[in-house]
A and B are shown apart, each in its own frame.
Chain A
Amino acid sequence: MADEIFLIRLLSFRFWPHFVPLIISQAMLGFGASGVALHLLRPRIAREPEKVFAWAVLLAASSFELAFRISQHVPFDPFLLLWHPSSWPAFALFFFLLAVPFFLAGTAIGVPLSFGLGNAGAVYAACFAGTAAGALLCLPVFSLVPTGLLLRVSLVLGLFASGFVLAYPGRRFRAGRLLAGGITLMFLLLPPIALSLSPYKDLAIVRKLPEARTISVRFGVSGDYQALYSPGIHNAPGLSYRFEGEIPPQAAIFADGELRGIVPRGGGKAPPEYLGFLPAALPYKMASRPAVAQFGLRGTEGILMAAGNGASSVTVVEPAAEFAGMVEDDLAEFAGGAPAGIRVEIRKEGGRSFLARGGEKFDIIELADISSLTFSSLGIHATGETYLLTREGIRAALSRLTDRGMLAVSGWLKSPPRESVKILNTIRAELGPGGRSAPERFIVVRGWGSFVVVARKLPFTGDELAAARRFCGETGFTMVWPDTEPPAGRKGLEEAGFRDSVRSALAGSPSGVDADRLFDLRPVTDDSPYFHRFLNLRSLPEFRRILGDQWVPFVEWGVVFLVASFVVSVALAAVFLLLPLPFTPAGGSGGGFPVVVYFSALGLAYMLIELTFLKIGILLLGDPIRAAAAAVGGFPLLSGIGSAVSGGWESSKTMRRWVFPGIAILAMGGFLALFHGTFFLLEQRLAWRSLAFLAALAPAAFFMGMPFPVALSRMARADSRSIPYAWGVNGFFSVAGVSVASIGSLWIGFHATVAAGAVLYLLAGIVFPRLATGGIPAR
């Protein structure tokens, strides 16, 4: 379990932060393949199950480290998937390699259970305890162990387990096993893994700059943070070309390899002048001594911008304590200390939690850089949850503004405009009934390749508009709203797209439905919080027709990667889980239509429900890793307990009447309670939120552990030849279900995805009595 979560972090660092579905798919493939293998090779294993068990444990011990080391040498580049044929086999190999350790671990777990080694209850209990311990262990480990050494923890745990089996059975040491144990031990002596970054990640590029040096490193649950200094770093996003001064030397801070913030050298002593020439400075020009809240620490740049533009206080909300610590402590000297004349507070909590918990009001709330210039321009984050940019998030932010307070959002212009229009649609939808009177409450300014939107609950005054125009005059930026025409002298000099899109968004339909037929620019909600997903599936044919072979710059790589993961995982699952089935020792028996329907429904449904809980967990727990630990740990743990006690629920009547409907009701009920209790739960402390999350998933997860073993038990009594099919089909659809759950969340939303899972459980309940006709009499 810990390895699964470690791998999520490692691949987030190497590539980008949306590898959760991929890792879970790999784990499902490995575990599913082990189940199939155990049944296919049953006669052989039955001769010496202890030996197979011992070898599985020994090989699993070092396999995570070994597989990851080898995977780093696979020339897998996600960006080449769409046009370089060799990328696909490389991706398949990469996927396969990381699934092997899960196969070995699954075998090590499966042999004692399937072949009666030891007390079954004790083995079950150990499995559950291990699952829970793994999920719990990984959280402190992230804070104690550098990212590159995470798999050493797996190695040590593996060695610990190996110690028990070296002399097993009969307490006699075997040379081969000793050798395997020795090799595992040798891995500890090897130099740590040097994580190879995707060459396109910001950190990889900056590391190569002349004189680049790392000046601070921190790691923890929220990520791996590194601060680098190089004279070649010059960051001033959207800086006006009217600025003629010098940008001071800067340090750049990277979270899991992506640029997260900038610290200008000595900025604390005197805020750099260039910060007044950025589009994000606009709201400061319209306020006097404002109290400011900023979401997301941007190094010290955000704080210095507030200080340099006359703010009385700035509260920065940053969930990553490691990042905050780096800025407050490690880089304090480089930064020149805290700026004078302004109260600075860094609140280390999630944005939505902060908005829900406090009562303090602000004159300016900044949501800066909603689109980063690098990865988001490629659509990498299309599959990443953005709960601050949903209607609910914007509503919460508006509630924390003073009457004349301003919500400021900035980002990069795209062609055609996307983020800019979507955020306008979202804010407009929340500003008033139907957004009808909202247009008077917006100012939109176009900067150098960037934009800033300022919105508030009351209309802007003439003085404020004059201040905004003055700012535009000084910086060379242009007002796009409420000035709907370009200023004199600029007609014909600017592209029409952005101005037209803003006019359409603010003067057209408040829903945003008509804003663009090619891209989905409708406001997003917590039910499908993917602000950066613009791909409109229905317009794909037109998209290709219009763009021809120039479509590549517009593709959303996050979606491409998700679909590619689905294709590769399903192909590998077919090879390793379905193809071997006809070769069962007993000649093979498909078990018929009911077996296929039942076990495919279970595999798919489980993933739909588990993954959707994980995604809503990101909102509640404020962090993908915490949510992954809670969901990926909590579901198997509770299901395992349900599985262990399922013996008493085997009758058709009990299962049909109670278990399957119970799962459907509890899954939907738990999800609805979490989802609709969000505003209340976010006000609570993290510990209470974690408990609430686990309490919501526990009942459903408990019962979700029953249908699989109960059905296997029935089949074993009637016709055990179809059991390998059950494993294979279930494993296949579990692998596929991971990607299907993510795709469902993106396009049909969480409610519908969980509901689909619930319906599949009901379907399984209908098929259940037909699994084995000679089964157990109803109780």
Chain B
Amino acid sequence: MSEEANPLAVVTKRSRRRKRVGVLMEALATAAAILAIVVLAIVVISVARKGLPAINADFFTKNPAPVFQTGGGIKNAIVGTLIMTGLATLISVPVGVLIAIFDTEFAPRPVAEGIRIALNVLAGVPTIVVGIFIFGVLVVGHGQSAIAASLGLSIVMVPLIARATEEVLLLVPSTLREGGMALGATRARTVITVILPTAVGGIVTATIVAVARGAGETAPLLFTSSIFANSVVTDVHQAMASIPLTIFVDSESPSVADQQTAWAAALVLMAGVLIMGVIGRALSLRTRRQIERAR
């Protein structure tokens, strides 16, 4: 669009101004994207720089030291997070997948839409309210427990897994379904032996993303597993330490040692979550390509 070369082009002040506005807007859009990435870098680098000095073998193998003493690590929190997130995953993957199957295979249209809306609404319930709910149902009268915390995490994770699984199931080409039917297989058999295996990559991705989310959730743990021992606990009827709560409590502490622990724990958590996020994304691209190829 070089106006100088074309003697017929009508170059008005207006067209030049429009062009300048266009360039400005594009620059702003680019700046916005750069801003987002810069903020991400600042946060990640802060956590890495402040957390790295405290990362040593002790950090992973020792339990916290008594109050006001230094040394110690977050062994109990790491074990607790692994157990509670693992438990939550064991509960939410079957439930989420089953819901997705119902939505795509069995539910009539309006019912399926209703369930999808319900899933979105459940996903939008503030996690602190989920915490109050689980507290009222499971903790009052019984005491805190890892099971209560895991159920709270499941409520957060199920909608994520259900929605993502549904997307993958819908991607499975109908030719596969029809083929199964044509061979005389029942609905159930087709789903279990044909559709699910094709979608398993997507389900794994959905699980990884949900686990990354669940491992970092603090609010569901606040009223269900916040009074915990300073040693490793493996009994799921007891409350357990967790990495997010350790970060939460230590972040508000005046002691520099505690703040250091918070940064290091944040580094461990973020590293885990980011790695899971990257793997999940890569897997999801691979699954998509596989299914596309199968079409």
**Do A and B associate with each other?**
no
> Which residues of A does B touch, CB under 8 Å?
none
